[in-house]
């Protein structure tokens, strides 16, 4: 297949946690023998902020890390007919502008022969449905929802069997253990502070336990307020700023444990959907302790990570992981096995190919063979 993927950002992961998976499944589609072209806007907010914070050199090696994937930046002059020429599959991620949806949907509605899928990796369908309503999805062939609970929302909206559960996964070419990296810290946490929607949780499950246990800890991410930074520094935690996603494995390898603190909307409204950080940590072979979230779909077996219901339990769990080598090793072994057997970007790419095949089989009697207006 010729796969044309529209992302808000491929080259930048600044405040873009989706970058790991979006890059990873593109890599695996290419490895499966498909042609892969990724379009990203030249003025996307993630890319511009990354350049503003660290300079363009932070983005220069991305293309080399994904050989065979064609990365094309575009502006308002993009010729969509040319961009979509010969496409068999087009995936539009939900952080694209409404105009992208309109332009591509218009061509699909008027006979373009590709399979067109919408990829939703956010909680807006629950928390801000008006934002989602700005996207014209009438011509789309299906929805890829990154959790069953989100898929059910689209089923209720009338998508029926054209809504698919498509979880994120780990890019094992990038995220794997690095045993030769010296371990110098007790704990590392990678995540963005955001709009303060999980300030209380971060204090309870991260900052307070680290301070009380007097751990050597580093924290990476963006959008930290001055007040948040002061709190972090007062707890003795180092703030390392923005950490490009492909550098995360080195950070994980340099610490003895990490934690997962999900955002409130996912815990309350979208049970069963972990953040990408769970996949990353387990793939990198670092023991993980998680704040509460409901693994409603049974993605991870008992023993893949530890659970902490409150700050006191988090402190006890971290102490146990740091003091008990057998416990730590068992967590690493189970976590790695779970990722490798169930949750890689290769698994997700293969699933995507199967979804496209099923849609095409259903539509084979009516699917046009060429664009409307093409010469016979």
Report pLDDT digits (tens) over 281-314. 999 999 999 999 999 999 999 999 999 999 999 9
Out of 3.40.50.2000, 3.100.10.20, 3.90.950.10, 1.10.3720.10, the CATH code matching 185-342 is: 3.40.50.2000
pLDDT score recorded for residue 364: 55
Q: Give the domain ranges of the chain.
A: 2-169+344-363, 185-342
Domains 2-169+344-363 and 185-342 share a fold: yes
- Arithmetic mean of pLDDT, 46-72: 89
Q: Does pLDDT of 376 surpass 60?
A: no
Dihedral sign for Cα atoms in the order 200, 212, 239, 18: negative
Q: How confident is the model at residue 165 (pLDDT cuts 50, 70, 90)?
A: very high
Using CA atoms, how far apart are residues 342 and 287, in angstroms rounded to an integer?
18
Q: How confident is the model at residue 370 (pLDDT cuts 50, 70, 90)?
A: very low
- Arithmetic mean of pLDDT, 309-326: 98
Phi and psi torsions of 279, nearest 5°: -60, -40
Using CA atoms, how far apart are residues 331 and 310, in angstroms rounded to an integer?
20
Report for 261-265, 331-335, 368-372: range of highest mean pLDDT: 331-335
Percentage, residues of the chain above pLDDT 90: 82
Nearest CA-CA partner of 168 in 274, 50, 37, 44: 274
- Arithmetic mean of pLDDT, 16-25: 96
pLDDT score recorded for residue 47: 94
Enumerate long-range contacts of 50-55, CB under 8 Å, 24 or more apart: 50/12, 50/13, 50/14, 50/242, 50/244, 51/12, 53/14, 53/222, 53/241, 53/242, 54/242
DSSP state of 246: G
The angle at the Cα of 118, spanning 248 to 194, to the nearest 5 degrees, equals 40
- Arithmetic mean of pLDDT, 22-51: 97
- Arithmetic mean of pLDDT, 348-353: 98
User: 196, 301 in Cβ contact below 8 A?
Assistant: no
- Other beta carbons less than 10 A from residue 131's beta carbon: 12
Using CA atoms, how far apart are residues 195 and 39, in angstroms rounded to an integer?
28
Q: Does pLDDT of 366 surpass 60?
A: no
pLDDT in tens, 67-122: 999 999 999 999 999 999 999 999 999 999 999 999 999 999 999 999 999 999 98
Domain 2-169+344-363 architecture: 3-Layer(aba) Sandwich (3.40)
Q: Does pLDDT of 168 surpass 50?
A: yes
Question: β-strands 35-41, 115-120: how paired?
Answer: unpaired
List, in order, residues 6 or more apart from 350 with CB less than 8 Å away.
Answer: 28, 32
List, in order, residues 6 or more apart from 141 with CB less than 8 Å away.
Answer: 108, 115, 116, 117, 162, 359, 363
Using CA atoms, how far apart are residues 302 and 162, in angstroms rounded to an integer?
32
pLDDT in tens, 191-245: 988 776 678 899 999 999 999 999 999 999 999 999 999 999 999 999 999 999 9
Whole-model pTM: value is: 0.93
Q: How far is CA 228 from CA 198, 223, 235, in A?
A: 11, 10, 11
């Amino acid at each position: 297949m010729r796969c044309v993927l529209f992302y808000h950002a491929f080259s930048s992961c600044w405040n873009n946690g989706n970058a790991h998976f979006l890059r990873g499944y593109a890599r695996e589609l290419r490895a499966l023998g498909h042609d892969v072209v990724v379009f990203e806007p030249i003025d996307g907010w993630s890319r511009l902020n990354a350049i503003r914070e660290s300079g363009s050199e932070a983005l220069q090696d991305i293309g080399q890390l994904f050989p065979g994937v064609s990365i094309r930046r575009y502006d308002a002059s993009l010729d969509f007919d040319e961009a979509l020429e010969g496409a068999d599959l087009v995936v539009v991620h939900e952080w694209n502008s409404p105009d992208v949806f309109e332009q591509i949907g218009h061509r699909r509605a008027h006979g373009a022969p590709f399979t067109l899928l919408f990829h939703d990796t956010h909680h807006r369908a629950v928390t801000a449905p008006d934002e989602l309503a700005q996207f014209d999805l009438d011509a789309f062939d299906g929805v890829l929802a990154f959790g069953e609970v989100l898929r059910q929302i689209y089923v209720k909206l009338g998508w029926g069997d054209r809504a698919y559960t498509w979880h994120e996964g780990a890019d094992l070419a990038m995220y794997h253990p690095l045993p030769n990296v010296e371990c110098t810290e007790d704990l590392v946490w990678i995540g963005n502070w955001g709009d303060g929607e999980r300030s209380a949780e971060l204090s309870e499950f991260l900052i307070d336990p680290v301070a009380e246990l007097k751990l050597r800890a580093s924290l990476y991410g963006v959008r930290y307020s001055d007040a948040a930074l002061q709190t972090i520094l007062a707890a003795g935690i180092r703030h390392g700023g923005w950490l490009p996603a492909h550098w995360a494995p080195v950070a994980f390898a340099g610490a003895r444990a990490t934690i997962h603190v999900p955002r409130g909307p996912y815990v309350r409204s979208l049970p069963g959907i972990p953040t990408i950080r769970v996949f990353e940590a387990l793939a990198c072979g670092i023991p993980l302790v998680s704040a509460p979230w409901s693994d409603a779909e049974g993605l991870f077996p008992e023993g893949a990570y530890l659970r902490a219901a409150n700050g006191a339990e988090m402190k006890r769990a971290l102490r146990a992981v740091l003091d008990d080598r057998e416990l730590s090793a068992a967590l690493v072994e189970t976590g790695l096995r779970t990722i490798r057997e169930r949750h890689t970007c290769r698994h997700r790419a293969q699933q995507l190919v199967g979804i496209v095949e099923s849609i095409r089989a259903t539509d084979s009697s009516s699917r046009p063979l060429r664009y409307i207006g093409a010469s016979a």
